[in-house]
Structure formats: structure tokens, C-alpha cells
Structure 1
Amino acid sequence: MNEEIYDLRTALSLLNSSDEEIEIVERELSPVREIPSHYAAHGAGVPNAGNLKHGSPVIYSNVKGHSMPVLMGLFNSRAACAKMLGMDCEGVGKELSEYVVEGFQPVMVENPPCQENVITRDIDITDILPVLTYTKDNAGPYITTGIVYASDPETGEEDITIHRLCVQGKDTLTAYLIQGRHIEIFYRKAAAMGKPLPITINIGVDPAIMLASTFSYPVTPLGFNELNIAGAVRKEGVRVSKAVTNEAKCIAYSEIVLEGYIMPQEMHENANCPEGHSLPEFLGYIGKAQKSLPVVKVTAVTYRNNPIYQTIVGPGAELSHICGIATEASIYKCVKDSVTSKVLNCCCSHCGGGKLTAFLQFRKDSEIDDAKTRQAGIAAFTAFHELKHVYLVDEDVNILDERDVLWAMTTRFQGTHSMISIPNLNCHVLDPSQSPEFSRDNSVRGTTYKTVFDCTVPFNMKNQFRRVDYGW
């Protein structure tokens, strides 16, 4: 097995031995609002409205009512994300795109560490786990970093995806399955058969698995198991095992695993207040509770000795990195393969939660590259359907610094001809501006005007836009 990183613990060990500080908070804090409030103030980052700086990872070692520590902020730094993948910070998404392959299938093992402790009777999720309640408006406690692992009930093909899970009772959750995601397709197939879908929910995994789980179609089509990506990064298949109480598989080195079934029945996300809220969404707004979500019945909770409960604060740099690095890889791969090799890099900004906004960097060598660059901007929407805004910049612009991108937009963009807008396209339902109420051009919620902002210099004018060079 790769001895560098193969689980959450070896990732933490790597960061501890490097320049990445991990803070330990020893004073008692409650999982009900106190821990999320502390981390937001510590430095959750944009689009969180609290402290906009990117704080270090924090382990809360004294959680009220629990012996299990809580970890937040592991992915808060792009440098830490790259380090845990063994990649370059600036081009981590670009480099990750090379690992979207199917040659590293999961490997079955027996006696997995995640089953060192097994609970199958008298399950009470919030008694066993320090699941966080984020704000006073929350529908309830939420599991936010649970990787759902399931198989297609027709074909047996496997998939992993992160879904938000609200605790509705001692052994009951609701799962927000966005339409078209692969686990949602599996669920619909099982429901049509009148059967529950066996799943495991894996918490606290190798960071490569976490980041791989956020890839989506078309780069990873239905039938592609994203565990292959994590396996390719580590150069060996991810270790998986049989669940204890159902037919699903679990990730062997998870800190915690919940086993159960997505039932062919649904309920309101906020059962206590049907017109109420859910939790803080990835774009920085408090979400509206969904009227009907699938019910998950938990049949077992298993965990390692001395487990670590990993979670996120909601909107902020951490979630933007978790979502954005895979999005960067998807966009870069699609543009390079289908439009132009002159694309140099891609960065998905925190202002779009890692999903809605992308900066694409190009090198122009001839006049035709003016057209190819714009075509690449449009192609990016195909690579990732939830993308809303694309900013095209030249090679002399630092796409990791939004200030430099805005400088390029200020000095290299004209609203009369530097913009391409396409109306009424499918995007993301959690952007509150994507609704008919906000704009008559949006036919239904989740549709929007997608826009390319061309902030590049025309090839024939490059000499007129030379940045100051202070070199000798």
C-alpha cells in the first residue's frame, strides 16, 4: 500500500510534518452551533460572510456530549489540497485531469479498519456521532462530508458522490439527491422496482477520494466509478469491503461508515417547519428546505478505534476547493481535448463556490487563437453544466488571484463586443438568481444566462498591452 497517504490519518500526519498548521481547540464546544460559529470566525473564507481569510484546519478535541473529535478545514488551503494529492499548487486541477482513467478499480479486503467497532442495535446517530447543527435556522443536524457509495440496481456499476444528509430521527436521514447525479439515478431505478437502494455513507477518507467524488458527467459518465481517479492518484486501487448489514460496499479506511438503505419513500427536509430552511448553502445563502427528499434508514454505524468526525462549515474556501478542483480538471480536460491545446490552466473561483465561476488562461500564437479562445469559453459550459460565468485571460494574468483577473477585465474588456451570453440554459438550482422571479429570461428555477467574459488581448494588439517588467 502507498505509505504516504491512504486515509485521513496519514493526510493529517503529512500536513503536521510540513508547513501546514493544524490547530487544536481544547475548550469544550457544542456541536449545536458553537463549533460552526467558531470555525466561521476562525476563517472559513469566501463566500462565507464571516472571516474572509482562509483559516487553518482545526481539530475540536473536547466536543460537548461526545468523546469523538471533530475536524474542520482540512481542504481550506489550495496548497494543502495539492500537497495531499502530491501535486503542484498552481496547476492542481490541470494535473488531476490526467488521472481520470478507469484502470484502477477498487480492491476488496477483509477485516477493514472501519469495522473495528460495529453498532447494529439501538442506533441513535446524534448520540454516536457529533453531527453539527450549523445555525438557528437549520432543519436539523447535517452530515456534510458523507460520501455515498452505491451500485446501479440494474447493471451493478458503482459510484460515489457527496450528498447532504439531514438527521430526521435516531436512525433516519433525508438525502438531497440532485437530479441527474449518478446516485440519484440509481435511487430512481430502485424506486421504480419498488426496492430500497443499499448504500454506505463514508466519513473521513483519503483526500484523494473526497476530491474524486465531486467529478460528474460528462467527464465521468454513468458507469464510471470515481474511485478509479483516487486509485490512479495513489497508483493502486482504493481498498473497499463488504458492509455488515446490506449488500453495499464501504471504503475500508474510512473513519466512520453508516450503512443503510435509501427507501422508496420521501419526506420534507424540514419536518418541523415546512416553510423553513435547510442549512448554509455552498454559495453563502441559508438554503430553503426541500419539500420532498428520499428517506435513508440506517442499519449500522461502524467506525475505527479513536475515530475522527470530519465535516465542513458549509460555504467557504474548503467547500469551494472540494468542488472546484475537480471542476477545474473537468473544464481543462474538455477544452484541451476538444477545442485548443493553447489552454494553459483553469481556476474555479471561491466566489462561485467552486462551481459557478471559472477563470481560463490561454496563450495566443496567431489570429485564429482569438476565435478558438472564445470557442473554448463556450465549450467550458459543456464540460461542466453547473458553470455560469467564464472569464478568459492571457498568460500574463495570475488566475489564482481574483484581483488580477478583475484588472484584466477592467483594461482588456469592452461590454460592446467582449461578452458572449446564452439565455435560458440549465445551471444550478441553489443560485437564488436563477429563477423566473429574478429574471423573465429564466424559464424555470435552475436556468440562467450563461456568460463568457473575454478579457484577453487581440493577438494583433499584444504589443500594446505589455505589462511593466521591472527585471534587469
Structure 2
Amino acid sequence: MPYQDLRAFLTALRNSGDLVDITRPIALKYDIAKALAKTSSIQGPALMFTNTGTAFPLVAGVYGNRRLALKAFEATEQTIHEKVLKGINNPIAPVDHKGAPPCQEVVLTGDAIDVTKLPVPTYSPKDGGPYITAGMVVSENPETGTPDIGNYRFQVHGPKELGVFSAPNHRFGKNIAHATAMGKQLHGAIVIGVDPLTMYSGQVQSSDSTNDWFVAGGLRGSPVELAKAVSNDMKVPAYAEIVIEFTVDTNSQKVEGPLGEYTGYYTAASPKPVAQITAITHRRGAIFQGLLTGKPITENHVLKQIPFETSLLHQLQAQFPTITDISVNSSGGVQVYLVIAMKPRYEGEARHAILAAMASNLHPKWVIAVDPDIDIRSSAEVEWAQSFRVKPSEDVFVVDRTATAPLDPYTDGAFSSSVGIDATKPFGVEFPDVAEVPGWRDFDLPEIDKR
């Protein structure tokens, strides 16, 4: 069974030694980020900060490394893509929660609304202020009512105001633009602290017509329980820790940013729409959740990686069935650097697969195709394939004026360019055997095995 809520997952992490409680005071301004960067550097545990200077504890690092990600999916490296693909291919409809939802045990409206009472960290020295980074945003297409869930940033401007940023090609950004064109205010909710698979489902790449609650149910293998929001008609996860309901006012803008983003660079400050908070609801003893972003690799990149990889694998395998795996490298922000493992069926197929990947929603700058014998998550093995299976004049090509990845600091306006490298063995040509010592991994050598 999937974890019902964040608390169940945190219990599992604590029992396995993957969650550490920090009871001494840790400053929300910068020091939380320092602690998260340190545990991330050693592939360490998630951290629960119980002394935040507020009434709420703060947990972060929940998605801090691949080990914790696999634990959330209850999968291994060998089973993860199969499990996620099964979830994507078998969506499950949400259900209404029966009775009073836990996420509304405490309801704050009117003058009681004050988001500054939550332990919202300031992560980087040049950030424009405290940022909610682990919020799962629920919004709807204002015309069709199709719900979208995704991870977006919000800057705390004041007790009832948040700065809004969503790239225009993302569904939340499209919903804001659509509502503005219709002369409507967009209602939304920031959901903080949900079960891990619902959080991961917000990263799955899908069409604008997809009801994301079905995707979440598929990944969980059971329906998400939803409850009606307090100040609008939207549905939110019943077991969320905290829900911040809002309307987006595009006519009222304030300077938002900078923020150290997934690219590893600060995004410039600029006027952006304001979210007016209409209600805050939470569980008793609610746990706030943080998420470190910035120079790769951070928790932000780990959260995206498995859903991004499996989404793209799902899309490309329909056209190229001999693709066995895809790596969307964390060092490229889980966006601009892809490695594809495949066995070409005909000369030029690897190039076709590379071009299809370039046209995907990730907008990568670098796409490398290798044979399935290459470990695509080992930079050394990929570099080996590039070194000795590539004839640069024939196997390396550049496609100009490709779409740019969001927030890429080095692009030509709305366009970029992409490099394709076919590092598969030449098709139909006899190639030398690999000089590798067979069976060494299983060789019994107690003299060093016990070290």
C-alpha cells in the first residue's frame, strides 16, 4: 500500500535512520539551506527542524537523494521505471474524502490569515526574500475545469500576499494567462506536505488535457482522497499538512525575485503577479515542508528526475521500442542534458530518436545516444562511448533555433540550439569486442571485501 500521507512516509524514514531530528535552533535565513546542502553532499538523511522560532516544525531533504526517492516509490533501480510506467498507463480517479478532512482541522480566514507565521526559509544570500519551494500548486483551466498540479515557487511578500512565478509554457502559467484573457481571477491552492507519490506525480510530463489527480492515483495504485477548499470550489488533498488558498491578481504586480533556481544561477527580479491569500487551513500539529534549490544537485533536481525520465521514456518508446532507458542528468538541471540507451534497428535511427528527444517538453541542449551496454548514469562510461564510438564529422550535429529550457541564463531570446551525439556503435559494421574482465563483480575476494 502507498504511504497515505507525509507523516506515514516520515515515520518510515525515521525508522530506517533516514530522518534526523534537529532540536536546537537553526535560523530560517540561510542556515536551514546550509544544513540541507551539507546532508545532500553526503547523500544523507532528511532533516526535521523542531525549533524554528514558529509554532510549526520544518521538514526538508525528504527528496534529497536517489535512495530516498526509491524508498518513496518502494522500488529499486531495476524496477523503478516499470513501476512508474505502470502507474502512468493505469490512471485511477480521485475520490471525495468522507467526513471532516484532516487538512481543515484548523481554518484561518480574514484577519487570522498570516503566512509569515509559517517557517518559510530564505535559502540563498541574494534571494529576494523567504520562498515557499515545496508547495504543490493546484489550479484549473478556467474554461474546461481540468485540474493541474505542479511544483512552483512563491515569494512571501507579506501576511496575505505572495509573489507568483510560473513559466508561460507550464500549465499553471497557461491557466493564469487564460483566466486573464477571459477577464477572470484564477483561483488556486498551495498544498504543502502530501504523500510522496502525489508530490512526484506533479512532475510527470503530460498533456494540458490530463487530469493530474488520475496520474497521482495511478502512481499510488489507489485514489487520492480530495476535499473541497474553504474559499473556492477547488479540490485539495484531504491529508495535506497545510493548504494556502489564493487568487491570482495579474493587475496588481510586485517585484518578485531573485531566487537561486534549478539552473544553479539566480533569476533576475522583475514585476510579477500577486497571489492574494483567501484562506489557510492545516492539520493540528502541522508540519511545514521546505525544499532546497540552486546549483545542482539539490533536492529540487532529485524530485524531478524519476518522473521526467519515465515520462520521456514513455513518449519515446512508442516510436523507438528498442530504447531501454533514459537518463535526464541532474548536473544539467534535470532539463538540458539527456542520455538515451538504445539498440538501433536501422542506420540513422539513433539520430531520429535524438531529434525526437530535442522536440520534447524538456527542450534539451545535449542529447547523446549510446548502446544498452553503457551505464547511462555513469559519466565515465558515457564519455568512453563518446571517445571511441563517435566519428565527430558524421555523428555530431547541431540543430539551431530549438526551444529554450525555462530560466536558461544563456540563450538567444526565445531560442537556443541543441547538440546531438550518436555514440552508438556504427550500424552494420563489425566492431571490436570490449576488453572487460568477466565476472569480477561476483568474484570472492574476502581480503578486501571485509574492509
Same fold (TM over 0.5): yes
Alignment of 1:300-339 (within 5 A): 300-315=279-294, 316-338=297-319
Q: Which residue of 1 aligns with 2:8?
A: 10
Q: Which residue of 1 aligns with 2:372?
A: 395
Q: Is 2:85 aligned against 1:97?
A: yes
Superposed CA deviations along residues 311-343 of structure 1, whole A, max 9, x for unmatched, are 1111334211222222111211111102x2111
CA distance in 1, matches of 2:425, 2:9: 42
CA distance in 2, matches of 1:342, 1:124: 54
Q: Is 2:230 aligned against 1:205?
A: no
CA distance in 2, matches of 1:69, 1:449: 45
CA distance in 2, matches of 1:335, 1:222: 19
| Structure 1 contact 230–238 (Cα < 8 Å) conserved | yes
Q: Is 2:232 aligned against 1:264?
A: no
TM-score normalized by the length of structure 1: 0.87
Tell me, what secondary structure is at the counterpart of 1:6? coil
CA distance in 2, matches of 1:335, 1:403: 25
Q: Which residue of 2 aligns with 1:343?
A: 323
Superposed CA deviations along residues 81-118 of structure 1, whole A, max 9, x for unmatched, are 12211333245245423322474122111411111111
Q: Which amino acid aligns with 1:172?
A: E
Q: Is 2:140 aligned against 1:151?
A: yes
Q: Which residue of 2 aligns with 1:87?
A: 75
Q: Percent identity?
A: 27
Superposed CA deviations along residues 428-456 of structure 1, whole A, max 9, x for unmatched, are 2411111xxxxxxx3x14x2111222222
CA distance in 2, matches of 1:399, 1:269: 41
Q: Which residue of 2 aligns with 1:161?
A: 150
CA shift for structure 1 position 403 = 2.5
Q: Following superposition, which runs of at least 4 residues in structure 1 exceed 6 angstroms of deviation?
A: none
CA distance in 2, matches of 1:31, 1:284: 21
Gaps of 5+ in 2: 441-451
Q: 2:35 aligns with which of 8, 19, 38?
A: 38
| Structure 2 contact 14–20 (Cα < 8 Å) conserved | no
Tell me, what secondary structure is at the counterpart of 2:407? coil
Tell me, what secondary structure is at the counterpart of 1:392? strand
**Distance 1:199-1:462 versus aligned 2 partners, 3 A rule:** farther
Q: Which residue of 1 aligns with 2:175?
A: 186
Q: Which residue of 2 aligns with 1:469?
A: 437
| Structure 2 contact 340–367 (Cα < 8 Å) conserved | yes
**Distance 1:462-1:32 versus aligned 2 partners, 3 A rule:** farther
Q: Which residue of 2 aligns with 1:71?
A: 59
Alignment of 1:159-308 (within 5 A): 159-216=148-205, 220-270=206-256, 277-289=257-269, 291-308=270-287
| Structure 2 contact 87–221 (Cα < 8 Å) conserved | no
| Structure 1 contact 345–362 (Cα < 8 Å) conserved | yes
CA distance in 2, matches of 1:184, 1:35: 29
CA distance in 2, matches of 1:92, 1:266: 44
| Structure 2 contact 5–240 (Cα < 8 Å) conserved | yes
| Structure 1 contact 323–353 (Cα < 8 Å) conserved | no
CA shift for structure 1 position 7 = 1.4
Total equivalences in the alignment? 437
CA distance in 2, matches of 1:426, 1:60: 41
CA shift for structure 1 position 21 = 1.9
Q: Which residue of 1 aligns with 2:24?
A: 27
Which moved further from structure 2: 111-120 or 384-393?
384-393
**Distance 1:155-1:135 versus aligned 2 partners, 3 A rule:** same
CA distance in 2, matches of 1:177, 1:410: 39
Q: Which residue of 2 aligns with 1:47?
A: none
**Distance 1:189-1:417 versus aligned 2 partners, 3 A rule:** same
Q: Which amino acid aligns with 1:362?
A: M
CA distance in 2, matches of 1:457, 1:91: 27
Tell me, what secondary structure is at the counterpart of 2:71? helix
CA distance in 2, matches of 1:196, 1:90: 46
Tell me, what secondary structure is at the counterpart of 1:464? coil
| Structure 1 contact 240–249 (Cα < 8 Å) conserved | yes
CA distance in 1, matches of 2:379, 2:43: 15
Tell me, what secondary structure is at the counterpart of 1:62? coil
CA distance in 2, matches of 1:398, 1:113: 45
CA distance in 2, matches of 1:68, 1:74: 17
Q: Which residue of 2 aligns with 1:439?
A: none
CA shift for structure 1 position 5 = 0.8
Gaps of 5+ in 1: 44-50, 271-276, 435-441
Which moved further from structure 2: 458-467 or 316-325?
458-467
CA distance in 2, matches of 1:288, 1:389: 25
| Structure 2 contact 358–364 (Cα < 8 Å) conserved | yes
CA distance in 1, matches of 2:72, 2:430: 38
| Structure 1 contact 394–457 (Cα < 8 Å) conserved | yes
Q: Is 2:444 aligned against 1:454?
A: no
**Distance 1:465-1:392 versus aligned 2 partners, 3 A rule:** farther
| Structure 2 contact 403–417 (Cα < 8 Å) conserved | no
CA distance in 2, matches of 1:269, 1:90: 46
CA distance in 2, matches of 1:14, 1:424: 47
| Structure 1 contact 142–166 (Cα < 8 Å) conserved | yes
Q: 1:431 aligns with which of 392, 395, 408?
A: 408
CA shift for structure 1 position 351 = 0.8
| Structure 1 contact 119–301 (Cα < 8 Å) conserved | yes
Tell me, what secondary structure is at the counterpart of 2:353? helix
